[in-house]
Chains A and B, each alone.
Chain A
């Protein structure tokens, strides 16, 4: 398996930038997800690695060797698309075996290789069926089997499970991750679905408007987002982001959210991060699970009123009005059962983020 290196990749269509100065190293055996909204450049990046798309400048290295001028067929990389693209007249077995036929392998060897891939993918019992007789998830397993069977240097996947229904997608996530653990194939996976990215990646590379926003483990991008875009693209329900005013006195700071009458008090660590930076245009970001909610008055908590209750079964999301602003909090199921109930709110200091509204960048991110 291989290491991939993208160095200063750039690509534009006419006056439109698709990829700008993209630098990314994908280590041997690593599962990297390119995540972003449609049009962010993630698929173009993937196609450039595969050799299906030319880049305007920059280098693509596979195991240190430059490949920009190599045709797709010489890069020894497998590609899995959202559409299954199986040969309809061949059985699953023949479909998976197809790439091996080019190598003049003995029948016995072919059979062994197909069987071993089929075992990992748990489709051994389906090998004699034609694609039309297979369910969506099984078809995609066969497609993946065909990509893996010749042990390519790297495997590239473009939204491979995007067309499956929710439950099957949930299962396939686990299977794909499992497959990766067993095969250790260097994998680049493109998706717009942050849940897929979070659940499968070793590292996530988040893109927007052709620009790489942040690269990090799921925990890193979730807990320490580099900017507002990442903060709101990753995580569901979305992170609360509210404009705020920050006043410091002694070693405390007071944070008043726009539209809110009272304020939140924060201590030392936050003081250093925010007060030390001289920004007037500050937005506070806090995920729903970092909003503490109590049903009785508590010291240091601000009063609010429950505007909406969204039950999700395992937990509830509350829309809480703090004056004119609304923030969302995650609570246990049935913590609050009546609309308009008064509640008291505090923010978990260690999980509260501050952003410069102009640049969108997080303030004083700990390094």
Chain B
């Protein structure tokens, strides 16, 4: 039997119930038992969280755990440790493993490994198409039954509108959301960064932002046609945001996420770092006008979630010429601190909105348990300290991946404790 745990004296921020007050939180049997003022300990283990913020556990809706197949880049063990150290109590694992998670057997193997070695909850995402080859639909019924919470061909955009249409239609039968990496495959062929004045000066081949926006628009139109549910992964362009805003306004079932690197950096970073490969990811860092539009979308609610797109790679994959380097950077251990320092401390958004973006909304978008501290909810809790200052030091990451464009940044505020099912899984030392 798990011991009862009482978090005492914290500021409880639970956007699911519009709570923001100094309250105690009692957890028992892996669920939230009670939230209220001055709760009696009644034999529970008491953790003093005075001056700290208590939130429903953060869920990263877009993580690459790399297992099975690329354990040299990350494993379920190291990836979930990184998640816990970044304040996440759950991660949604993208299916572009080797082999691709396109069958129930692979889903079950991932979940079994997560049960044995995982530190936080792992929600697998299944493939949209077999082998993510973009042709035949994967078996959504089986995948859902085995535990997949959504489908996506992330990293391998669904090129065919016909296949996307069928996926949106078929997924309806299982209540699955289709998550799309929106990228028109020919416009940015061979590109290594955003197309614009900076790519011109650097002499690098660029992918224009419209290559994303045309597919976002396509997906929204198809979701409207099919009454399906589409979620736009790592939205990066102002024009894509506008498409989502219009789609939402006319009632299309579309949601969207953004990553911290697209919120806090632009393509100028590639130049400023003199081609450092920690600025190379897909979608690429965009222009300042795009970045400003994304911040606006966070404020007005067009953006539903902040997701890391945590994409660990080996040193060998990144320590090469810029155009030879792998796309992607790690994000689990920096996202929350970046949000607190760059969004909340700067008053771009308030703290409850940030918690919604990291917790309540990801749970709502994919229909996951959690995202709330209502009695009976999973006892998944993220505890934040708004005052502590830390410098981002990749050498201290739990993740095997070390490539981050935020190395050296000094961030005020960050996670200090991660509780999963009533158990403290990580605590800052």
- Real complex partners, A and B? no
